[in-house]
Amino acid sequence: MTLHDDIVAMGQRALAASRQLALLSARRKNGILQSMADQLISDSPRIQQENAANMEAGRQAGLSSALLDRLQLTSARIEAMAQGLREVAALPDPVGRVIRRWTRPSGGVRPSGLQIVKRRVPIGVIGIIYESRPNVTADAAALCFKTSNAVILRGGKEATRSNSAIVQAMTTGGARKGLPADAIQFIQTHDHEAIRELVQLEGLVDLVIPRGGEALIRAVMEQTKVPVIKHYKGVCHVFVDESADPDMALAIIENAKCQRPGVCNAIEKVLIHEAIAGSFLPRMVERLQARGVELRGDEAARRIVATIKATTEEDWTAEYLGLILTIGIVPSAKAAVEHINRYSSHHSDAIIAASATAQKIFTDEVDSACVYVNASTRFTDGREFGMGAEIGISTDKLHARGPMGLEELTTYKYVIHGTGQVRK
């Protein structure tokens, strides 16, 4: 068998499994998830053993300590993974839910009297392509399974043995309670061609979700024949309006930049209304420099605080994922909107303002998935939004935008009941 044949066969098995998955009741699925969680716990020693081999190879390959930390599985982390599965089991199941139900008129222009139900159904087969953290394996598989989708997982090569052990625990535990074979499949090979083969499976794979760095996602986009939901990066802004409460603005900026700078909903840019820049900017610089943040700014900012470094054009679109922040001074809320619509990654952007007018301009006109007023962009997260879990965040506009929970892993179909109606 060639790699091509292998991946096609996986897709065909996944499609067959998806037909069975669509028929499982919520209760049955939740029992399977509980059994998967139990098995993760009882397989914990074996998973840690496999993980130790990945860790050793990672150290030899010179992975950074940050990456090694992301890779490592302790018994506490495996317990957290199992707990995650139990939480997914506890969430309401969107599959089968009626979105809308209506009856067409029996008289008038188009008198059919048909009864139409728009009903949530699984998408079918989902491919998940991700990088190093092995807990994504359990999370993604659980969310796809909960929504009755078959899933084909392709993780980072550093974590293959760990991921494989996790999948084995889930399928073994799940099978005991009736998990269909091939509902959760894992691509073992490190060959990059496997990704190309996977995203070419038009007609077998319905959706691909890549999770990882921009390079991974660009590679997927160049090769795909299958719909993809993604975000390339998070270039998030805070705009401090002239009407802002400066203390609130400082607290939000510090939180959005420093609380966890390596994530996509951390901010990379601050825009300040020129009317308050003279008083606000020096305070902000002091506060952020105390947290070790490197500050870059446009000319207007540097005229106010000389220690700010000069920006390049690239700074405005850069996702630093670290303690760097670029600062611009703008003449109005409208100008802030224009800047953000030009440079933002359309992920999460915030205004700090007391003025209802400025708030309205900002929320009406900023074309991003999540637009905040007087709050930190760090809240863009499925759990923080109350979705219960998150398969990823989309900066696309079709199907799903912003945090994607269970509902976003479903589609719908129309079921139409008649009594013999024909079209005139």
The site for a second copy (CB under 8 A) is made up of 19, 22-23, 102, 104, 110, 112, 114, 116, 121, 123-124, 206-207, 221, 225, 227, 229, 245, 248, 251-252, 254-256, 259, 341, 363-365, 367-376, 378-379, 383-386, 396-399, 401-402, 411-423
The SS3 assignment for 26 reads helix
Nearest to 270 by CA among 260, 290, 20, 293: 293
Q: Give least dist CB 102 to a second copy, A.
A: 7
CB 333 within 8 A of CB 278: no
Q: Of 60 and 419, which has the nearer Cβ to a second copy?
A: 419
Distance from C-alpha of 272 to C-alpha of 282, rounded to nearest angstrom: 12
**Nearer of residues 111 and 282 to a second copy, judged by Cβ:** 111
DSSP 218-234: HHHHHH-SS-B------
CB of 387 to a second copy, least distance (A): 11
Cβ 363 to a second copy shortest distance, Å: 5
In the complex with a second copy, the residue whose CB is nearer, 136 or 393, is: 393
Q: Shortest gap between Cβ of 333 and a second copy (angstroms)? A: 14
Given its phi and psi angles, is residue 62 left (phi above 0), alpha (psi -120 to 50 degrees) or beta?
left
Residue 9, C-beta contacts closer than 8 angstroms, at least 6 positions apart: 1
Q: What is the nearest approach in angstroms of a second copy to the Cβ of residue 173?
A: 27
Residue 208 CB, nearest distance to a second copy (Å)?
11
Q: How far apart are CA 391 and CA 396, in angstroms?
A: 14
67 and 132 in contact (C-beta within 8 Å)? yes
Taking the least distance from each CB to a second copy, the nearer of 7 and 207 is 207
141/179 Cα distance (integer angstroms): 12
Q: Closest distance between a second copy and the C-beta of residue 4, in Å?
A: 19
Instruction: Determine contact, residues 216/202, Cβ cutoff 8 Å.
Output: no
Quick one: 72 or 112, whose CB is closer to a second copy?
112
| Least distance CB 177 / a second copy (angstroms) | 21
Q: Do 229 and 207 form a contact (C-beta atoms < 8 A)?
A: yes
Nearer to a second copy, 296 or 378 (CB): 378
Nearest to a second copy of 191, 367 (CB atom): 367
Q: Which two tokens stand for residue 276?
A: 């308050």
The two three-digit tokens of residue 171, written as one number? 């399928």
The terminus-to-terminus CA distance of the chain in angstroms comes to 54
Residue 338: CB partners within 8 Å, gap ≥ 6? none
Nearest residue (CB) to a second copy, 102 versus 306? 102
